Structures are given as structure tokens and as C-alpha cells.
Structure 1
């Protein structure tokens, strides 16, 4: 007599996407295990995890990783997630398996977040879960051979908690995500302004306090152990212009045309460009990013905290501002590594489910998918067929330039959409004003 197992449609959805993830994971593991292809997990993360397993506390000693002595370049709690797989596997191969399992669990959490997002916004669960999965699978090696999916999913969870009005927990999770990868901190002012605009002043105060306390608690733990958990910031402020960044791709193209000279080198764990123009822009991008973000916050606060705001427009505008902030951090920067595309996936989903014109949503999705495909081509041409520190080929420069142009077009399109939305609010307010 056969076993009668009743599987619901919801369970079937999870089984389908988790099954695909498992198959792709097995393929990736086999490729790394059977070849000498470079792997961040094996060549970089395992040495740090093994050092911690042997009693070296983060930020206290340099570690031999990626065939050189390296400082601790990530925020403090990133090393918790690098260490967890080492707790279950002392060998490199075992560590990679454990790391893949850990990222798989975060993929499942992201599935739940996408399902919850669909429920909250009145969309079909399967459609949004499938969209989430496809966007993730297109960047698959960046999911299982980097830890960037972890802060991305934590940020996604924080946004879902905010939508569920669990504001304090949203800020706690966002703060924890910030101690894994710094970029979630840019959403802190946006969520605080969002709550103030909703009239949740006490909730905003509690959320701000929760964010600060969580962050300070993590830092205090490391300081008490004799480490400096903020030393990683110097590593990133001193970085030269990474060759994949938007401004670098423009300079590389001008060099291809013979209009300027650049040289290539490998340092700070990335391929960089050097020369008179790169040296100038490497020092300008971080301050420029800060200025753009402050202007975005000011714009958002001005339009959301004014009296007479149509509350129905608050959530769509907030989703738009969150996405623009994320893209500002990526595009107005000295670095645009391939895994940064993974950071954008929750925000692309947010924009897809909020009210708006279907044509605009489809265009946005096409641009992002093209950006993902070009990122994979960039990874293949500029990293698969090219040695560290070597000059880029003309094909590599053009692929990278096209990827960055696609993302800039998307960025400018979203910015114009935000401006048009706010101009519309102004005109509607004037129309309602008494003569």
C-alpha cells in the first residue's frame, strides 16, 4: 500500500525552488572541487574561519588568505557567518558544503520574505516567489561563493517586518545586517522618516533606539575582547578605483579610445585601475555618494513630512527611495563587484509589487535582468579568461560598460519617476487649495 502524502500548493512551491537551488549547489560544488577554479569560500573565507577556530580573534592578527597576508576587511558579524560552517567541518571541502547549506537556509528565508511580500501587496505567491528565485539563480555563484546573500536577506527581512508593523524588530534586524555588511545602514534614516510620516513617533523613537543599542552591543563585545571592530573601515576608505565601478568603466573606455592612460593592478582583494584620472576619482566618490544620499533623504523627508500628504502614496514612494538609495551606494562608488547585483534583488521585487504602470515595471525588470546577464559575461570574460592585475581586453571593457550603462539608465529612470511622483503631489495639492 503506497504512502499517502498530501502536499499543499504552498509546500510544492517551496520544494520546487529549494530543489533547483540544491541541484545548482551540487553542480557548483563539483566544479570547484574537481578543478582549480578560484573560490572565495575555499581561498578566502576558510582561512579566516580556520584562524578563528584556532584561537585568533577577529581584528587582532593578520591571516594568510588568498595567497597573501590579509587584514580583516569585513564588519564584525560577517565573521560569525564565516565561522559557523567551520564549526561543522574542519576540511576545506567540508567547509564549502557547510557554507552552501548555510546560504541555502538564507535562500529559504528569502523565499518566505518574497511570499510574505506577495501576501501583503495582493500578488500571486507563486509568481513573486518564482521571480525572486529566477533573479537569484541568474547570480547563483555569487550566492554560494560569497556571503553577500546573508546581509541582503536580513535587509529583506527587516523590510518585511516594517511592512508588518513590527518596527522595533525591523530596526534590530537592520542593525544586525549592518554589522554583517555596512550598506544596510543607509536605509536607517528612510525607515525612521517613513514611521514619522505615518504618525508613529513613539515607534520611530523605539526603532532608532533599538538600532543604536544593537549596533553598540556588537561593537562593545568586540572591544571587550581586545579587538577594534571598526578597523575594517580604513581598509575600504583607502581603496583605489576598482575596475568594475561605473566611473572606472568610463575611464577604461576613454583609455580604449586613446584619450587617457590607465594601468591595472591587484590590491585590496580586487582588480583596480591607476592613473591621473582614477587617482582623482577614487578620492571623490565616497564624499559624492554621501552628498547624494543626504540630498535623497532631504527630498524624501520634505515630501513625506509635509502636511496634507496622501498616505496611500507613502509606501510606493518609500520603496522607490529605498531602491534609489541602494543604487546610489552601488553606482556612486569606487567599487561595483558582481555580487552587488544580489543586493538589489529585494528592491526590484518591491518595485514590482507596488502600484504602478505595468509597462514601467516590465521595462525595469528587463533592464535589471540584462544587467545580471551582462554581469555574468563580465565575470566570465574579465575574471575567467584574465589573470589578476592584467589589462582588460576591448571586449571586457565594452561588456562592463554596457552593464554599467544599463544600471545607470535604470537608476536615472527611477529617479525621474520619484521626481514626477512628487511633482504630481504638488500639483494635486495646488488643485485642492482654495481660490
Structure 2
């Protein structure tokens, strides 16, 4: 029997008053199902389930709807853990939870090398102000008492993690970026992906929400939860994962794929930075998947030929024709779109960023929404102290290291 997985389950009420249960297994994709779907899955396996497994909760007379949905949510979590612990290799189970092929299951664990683990607890920090709040937790600006360093601490009531992001916020506010600004960001993204690929790591979750701006206006790539190591240029994998708007056609079609899916994602993000929305966007995921797989790319004439060409090259549905498929990052950096980029200067951070956040100190929160900053910190709301943990990954040594800028001396 497998170790019980971490299951997050949230109740969503749609605009037409229907109830949907959003379930995620460990760091896998989110699935959205009705209670009837889980009841059918239960019926299929109930004869082989432990006798302690409860039947689906039924509505009682005069029972409040919220109480019923909470009971159903708890039942779904328990049922999911039982099925995934005992029948993980069954196709019916893996397909239901969108976990990909069983042959790829053992390879889905992301190990980024030897780890040096240091535990920390809430008592090690001074809580300065609230800088974010979501459905599942709150983000605080904190200062480490011993070192004086400033951190963002996310306090969660559930294992589901949801992030807001600075680049995404700026893109929403400004609708779209200029070609020069898009080029500056795209060059850094391509460099980061190239670094990962050089270390045989596929990223698989590139999107504006995972791109942060530092105090100098340079990008920081975050959230390596969907990375997979051991991905050489000739290696294939088949796990269905990523964010719907940015999935490459071969992932949607559940075909084996390689590191070139990251270059598709780069094309989608470049397109979004220039136009404000992903290239095949639709509120309906099935319609969006159909567009990604079957419909031709539509590009307005408001951008340069170089921008049009790189987007077209990156968003080739046939991965063998996709820009970056043959030469990976070296092929990307030679494209006409990046002609103005001095890659060595970019790596040394000598290129002036087109936008620099106005920050007067490490504790400056002027770029944080005022609604968050006004929220008072309640120590009683902090997570249990043994939950906090930091990890250092061998493959990312010096990843955020900044060489001294000779232009500043």
C-alpha cells in the first residue's frame, strides 16, 4: 500500500448554483468534479474497499446545504486517500484524478538533488504587516529576528497554495507591455529555462503568475513544484500537468513530450505580454483545448515582424517544427527578436530594466494593495510552528547570485 497522498478539496458554487468539488492530489493538476462523479467512482470500487469506508453522505431533512457540502468534502478527501493508497496503479483511478500514465508515476517525483534542511518556526520572526490574503491563507511581511532579513511568510489553513504575482499584477494593470519590455522579460525567462534544461530539468509551469519582479526590475522564476529532473534532450515523459492556458498540444493529446513544451509556454507568455491574454484563451477549458490543438494561431498586425516570427516559431503545434526543438536555448537566443539583447550583460544584470518598482527599503510595501496592508496581524491566526521549513536545492546553488555590477563602481 502506498503512503497516503496529500489531498486538498475545495467546494465551489458556480454562477448557476451548482456545486463543484475542486480536488488536487499532492502537487498534481486540479480536477473539478460533481458529487455524482465521486459517487460513481465509489460504486465502482466499493466491493473492494475497506469496511470502514463510509458511503456518500446524503441530504437529511432540514439539513443546511453548507453542512451537507462540508460533509461531502470530508468524504471525498477520505475516499480519495483510500483509493490512491490502495489502487493507485489502476487506470480508472489515475484517469479520474488526472495523474497521467502509471508507467510515469514513479518518475513524477521531483528530486532536485541533496538537500540541506533547516527548520524555522513563527517565533523566529517578527511579523511586520499583511501583504496578501487569499481564500486559503494570508501572506505576511516578516523579519528574521537573528539575521534581520526580510521574508514573505504564507500562513495556510489548508495545503492548497494560491499565489498572487507582481508581474501578473502589472500586466493586468497595464493590459499589455511594449515590445522592448516584453523582450527584456522574455530574454530572462529563456535564460532561466535554458539553465534548467542544461541541468536536465523540465519546468512545465511557465506563466505570469510564477514570475516575480525583484527590486531592480529583473525577473525571478518561482514555483518549481512541477519540475522533473533527468530530462535530457532525448528524454520523453507523459505526465499530464501544467496550467490549462499554457499547455502544449502534445500534453493535451496525452502524447509523450520533451523539454520543448517549455518553449511553447514561452511563446504563450510572450503573446500574453504583447496582447494581454494567452493566445488560445477561452473561459471554457474544453473549447480552449480544442483551439490549442486544432485552430490556427491568430496574430494582430500591431507588432513587428520579429515579434510575429518568434511567437509563430514557439507556438508550432508540431513540436519538431517548434523554435527551440533542435537547438534548445541556443536556438532561441539567436532569433531576430533578441538581436538587441547582449546576453552577457543581461546575465551580469548590466541592462537597465524598463520598469523598476519604487522601493525605498526592504520593508517598503507601496507596491502591495492597500486592502492587504490595512489588515491587522492576529498572532492567533498563525499556523502551527512546526509547519515552516526551508530547503536548499543542490541544482539551484547560486541561482539568485548577483555579481557585482562594474557599472556601479
The TM-score bracket by the shorter chain reads under 0.3
State the TM-score, normalized to the length of structure 2: 0.27
**Structure that is richer in strand per residue:** 2
The structure, 1 or 2, with the larger RCO (C-alpha pairs under 8 Å, 6+ apart) is: 2
State the TM-score, normalized to the length of structure 1: 0.26
**Structure that is richer in helix per residue:** 1
